[in-house]
Amino acid sequence: MQGEKLSRREKEKLRQRQDMLAGALDLFSEKGYHNVSMLDIAGKSEFAIGTLYKFFKNKEDLYKTLVLEQADRFHESLMEAIEEGNNEVEQLEAYIKAKGRVFRSNSSMIRLYFAETRGTSFNIMAGLDSEIREQYNIFLKKLAQVFESGIQKNRFKKISDPYHLAVCLESITNAFLFLWLETPEQHPYPEDPNQILDIFMKGLISP
């Protein structure tokens, strides 16, 4: 139960499970789902193959667990960031900062996340794609609420549906993260969130 102190054996099992998932994350993000075997994962995480099967019934089970847990952590961080700030602009700034911070701290996760949320999955298994997309849609609706609130308070112009605005801002941040992933030195993710917000909010046409 939550709050109960784990025994030494339970802590060791938890550590083993985390080591296995970390090894699998590195392999899946580097080689893709189909090019990784359970034997590869066992070797990467330095466990016997039999030990691996005590935790996961097969590769699909391990992959699904990995992707869902990574997505949970990522979306939770973004949800918390959106709650920050005294107004809608500060909330958007916090979201952009948090997204860059979380993704840049784990390039392996970014590859898995983009694979599962943008339709280029290493392996779209029955049920997994819909679960991830449902979670992703919940996050987009949360982001859309920020735009809706800003529109209601006349802080933002109503130039589009709030959900569409959320999709647009999410896509812009993704584009910057893709550039960073490919050429981090040439295209670093902006430290100042206004570099992204200005593109999104001010546009190109001079008044």
pLDDT at 127: 52
Cβ neighbours for 157, distance < 8 A, ≥ 6 positions apart: 151
| DSSP symbol at 84 | -
pLDDT digits (tens, 9 = 90+) for 56-66: 999 989 988 98
Model confidence at 125, pLDDT cuts 50, 70, 90, reads: very low
Determine the average pLDDT of the residues in 119-132: 53
Helix H segments across 56-161? 59-82, 88-104, 107-117, 128-152
Q: Say if residue 181's pLDDT is above 90.
A: no
Model confidence at 4, pLDDT cuts 50, 70, 90, reads: low
Q: Are 78 and 98 in contact (CB under 8 A)?
A: yes
Q: How far apart are CA 188 and CA 168, in angstroms?
A: 20
Question: What sign does the CA torsion over 34, 39, 44, 47 have?
Answer: positive
pLDDT at 45: 93
Token pair listed for 30:
């580097």
Q: Give me the percent of the chain exceeding a pLDDT of 90.
A: 48
Query: Residues 55, 61, 67, CA angle at the centre, nearest 5°?
Result: 105
Determine the average pLDDT of the residues in 39-53: 95
Least confident window among 27-31, 139-143, 159-163, 170-174: 27-31
Determine the average pLDDT of the residues in 14-36: 89
User: 38 in helix, strand or coil?
Assistant: helix
Q: How far apart are CA 86 and CA 79, in angstroms?
A: 15
Exposure b/e, 154-193, CB count within 10 A at least 16 = b: eebeeeeebbebbeebbeebbebbeebbeeeeeeebbeeb
pLDDT digits (tens, 9 = 90+) for 73-105: 888 999 999 998 899 999 999 999 999 998 888
pLDDT at 108: 75
Fill in the amino acid letter for 125.
Answer: M
pLDDT at 9: 87
Q: Say if residue 121's pLDDT is above 60.
A: no
Cβ neighbours for 29, distance < 8 A, ≥ 6 positions apart: 107, 108, 109, 111, 112
Q: Which residue has the tokens 């920020």?
A: 146
Domains of the chain: 1-56 (1.10.10.60), 58-202 (1.10.357.10)
